[in-house]
Structure 1
Amino acid sequence: MDIDQLQAFLHVANTKSFTRAAEKMNVVQSTITTRIQMLERHIGKELFKRDKRNLDLTSAGRSFLPYAERIVDLSREGTKVLLLEQTYHDQLVIGTTHALWDYVIFEAVNEFIKSNSQISIRMITEHSSFIIRKMIDGLIDLGIVFYPVYHSNIETKPIIEDIFELVAAPNFYLPDYPVTSETLRGLPYIHLNWGGSFSDWIQQIFGNHYLFQLEVDHVSLLLRFLESNQGVGFLPHSIAKRLIHDGTVISIPFVSDTPLPNRYIYLLNRKRSNNIDYLEQLISCIKRSF
């Protein structure tokens, strides 16, 4: 088993195609086929189910996939460590969600790199669950996520208890009656599922199987619809406060018999990191940004 075989396996698993995997690795298709066959021979199990139309992972392939990803990631990180010695003192790998990068964490990292030019920074944008898994594997030094982690090598600290705000464009026509959980249903509401307790709250307000006229899965998309005066939506205060300050959106007073939920944002850092001094500096920048 070697890295080329594992990379071929990952490309085929992701593209569901030997041809596209060969294009991504810049080799001929027969090379991909040979690498997969050698890997299957080494493992002793078939990794893919093949027929004339479809290609998919076998149960053994699905079980092996996360381990192959980790091996390739660790190999890549090991190579980077060697390259760092030529240029930088160290590297910090930071992971968080797209929303927090755009509206909170960017300023903190920008502040940090201005005074630490000898440190290489790698930024990863993913869901909280992905960030947590990579931290457990030792591939991320610092994570900002929406869930606490209980692991012997990871320190978890709540940064802030965030609240949700109902917002709209400054020129949005507001009704002359109070916006409540009941009257919200009569407004053009744009739904972004923030997960956790927010999902439970929305189900209480709208019902379990309510079909929203407009539902998005990205903050930037929600903001584009809000800015084009298409309706109202909920944002965490940590994001909304900056947009309210620069006049992008306004906060709408909202009253509900079922109170809007709060949620914590957590900062995770590896306890045994070698670059602890730089981590502490970066953590201080992030706390200030919140």
Structure 2
Amino acid sequence: MVPGNINLTQLQTFLWVSSLRSFRKTAEKMNTTQPAISSRIARLEETLGVRLFERDTGSIQLTAKGLELLPYAEKLLRTSALLVDRISQDEDYVGILRLGVSEVIVHTFLPDFLSGLHQKFPEIEVDIVVDATANLRRELIERSIDFALLMGPVTDYQIENHDLIEFDVIWAAAPSLKIETDRELSLDELATSPLITYARNTRPYADLSRQLRKNTELPARIYSSSSLAAIHRMALDGIGIANLPRQMIQADIINGHLQQIQCVWHPPSLKFTASYPTEPYNPVIEKIVHHALDVSRSYRKQIETLVPLATQ
């Protein structure tokens, strides 16, 4: 029998199934149906004359021949992607980018990122997921999203991380609360007002709770929220003292809508990364990473001119 042809779509499908261990998830990822994925794998197995996957109830595993094919498939698709990347123009890329972002990014440089992305890749559609970092990490690892701007790095061997930007976190309150601003307050003094911070499943909340347990005499009132916009609004409305990224609220400080409050304990800064799965190889994602890094550098230069004014 003369072997049939193997096409790149079959190999790409094989790599996604081997990575996700699911025909259903692969179908969602490749924007097709589960029967179509099964058919591609069946045709590939028929052409090669071997079984590539063992299909048990609720489990898909590579066979020995599947493991043997894996590096060849990766090399062929990487070579193909590099060829297309070399020959094509950026504006020729078509597809959907599933982008995960932390809310801090939404309120800082996401508009610049999206504007530049549209100019570079006008045919790419963007599906944006705004969520807590813990959820975005899980979705990256499960390949539910292609790329994320989140509090990183993501500690998974299949995820690559690039340092993006670091946000200083400060205490801020509305002038109506009449909190002293000419000296450093103790945590006990600070905690006489409600303290507004991130949701309970976040590092900022855990850091604050730990410091309050260690360094305050009286129980503190913590108002937590999963919405950064809600935290910002509560601070502006004089509900309490909030810890917020300086870069997000510096215009409010300059305009006098908020005041920076000095405290002996400073909330740790928030470090963000551009993170994405390394396999299967996707040259477009690498271009988008470089774009994100360029935008973050430009944003840092912009805010550096405003920070001295915000601290006066």
Give the TM-score normalised by the residue count of structure 2: 0.57
User: Does 1:161 find its partner at 2:166?
Assistant: yes
Q: CA deviation at 1:145?
A: 1.7
Q: CA deviation at 1:101?
A: 1.7
Provide, for residues 201-239 of structure 1, a one-character-per-residue CA deviation record: whole Å limited to 9, x for no partner. Answer: 432225599452644332122222222222221102343
Name the residue aligned to 2:234.
225
Name the residue aligned to 1:260.
267
Provide, for residues 35-63 of structure 1, a one-character-per-residue CA deviation record: whole Å limited to 9, x for no partner. Answer: xxxxxxxxxxxxxxxxxxxxxxxxxxxxx
Secondary structure (helix, strand or coil) at the match of 1:165 reads strand
Provide, for residues 53-87 of structure 1, a one-character-per-residue CA deviation record: whole Å limited to 9, x for no partner. Answer: xxxxxxxxxxxxxx89x7544322312799xxxx9
* Mapped contact 1:103–1:242 kept (Cα < 8 A): no
Q: Label 1:109 to 1:122 Cα distance change in 2 as closer, same or farther (>3 A).
A: same
* Mapped contact 1:201–1:260 kept (Cα < 8 A): yes
Q: CA deviation at 1:104?
A: 3.3
User: Does 1:284 find its partner at 2:294?
Assistant: yes
Q: CA deviation at 1:95?
A: 0.5
Q: Label 1:251 to 1:73 Cα distance change in 2 as closer, same or farther (>3 A).
A: farther
Name the residue aligned to 1:173.
178
Secondary structure (helix, strand or coil) at the match of 1:79 reads coil
CA–CA separation in structure 2 for the residues paired with 1:145 and 1:237 = 17
Secondary structure (helix, strand or coil) at the match of 1:288 reads helix
Name the residue aligned to 1:110.
115
Q: CA deviation at 1:191?
A: 3.7
Name the residue aligned to 1:8.
none
Which amino acid in structure 2 is aligned with residue 74 of structure 1?
Answer: T
Secondary structure (helix, strand or coil) at the match of 1:110 reads helix
Return the match for 1:187 from 173, 193, 196. Answer: 193
* Mapped contact 2:174–2:236 kept (Cα < 8 A): yes
User: Does 1:94 find its partner at 2:99?
Assistant: yes
Instruction: Name the % identity.
Output: 13
Q: CA deviation at 1:199?
A: 1.9
Name the residue aligned to 1:79.
31
User: Does 1:204 find its partner at 2:211?
Assistant: yes
Q: CA deviation at 1:279?
A: 4.0
Secondary structure (helix, strand or coil) at the match of 2:99 reads strand
Which amino acid in structure 2 is aligned with residue 77 of structure 1?
Answer: K
CA–CA separation in structure 2 for the residues paired with 1:117 and 1:197 = 37
* Mapped contact 1:108–1:289 kept (Cα < 8 A): no
CA–CA separation in structure 2 for the residues paired with 1:198 and 1:71 = 38
Name the residue aligned to 2:246.
237
Q: Label 1:134 to 1:260 Cα distance change in 2 as closer, same or farther (>3 A).
A: closer
CA–CA separation in structure 1 for the residues paired with 2:287 and 2:175 = 44
* Mapped contact 2:102–2:131 kept (Cα < 8 A): yes
Larger C-alpha radius of gyration, 1 or 2? Answer: 2
Q: CA deviation at 1:286?
A: 4.0
Q: Label 1:203 to 1:150 Cα distance change in 2 as closer, same or farther (>3 A).
A: closer
Which amino acid in structure 2 is aligned with residue 235 of structure 1?
Answer: L
Return the match for 1:143 from 140, 143, 148. Answer: 148
Give the TM-score normalised by the residue count of structure 1: 0.61
Which amino acid in structure 1 is aligned with residue 226 of structure 2?
Answer: D
Q: Label 1:129 to 1:193 Cα distance change in 2 as closer, same or farther (>3 A).
A: closer
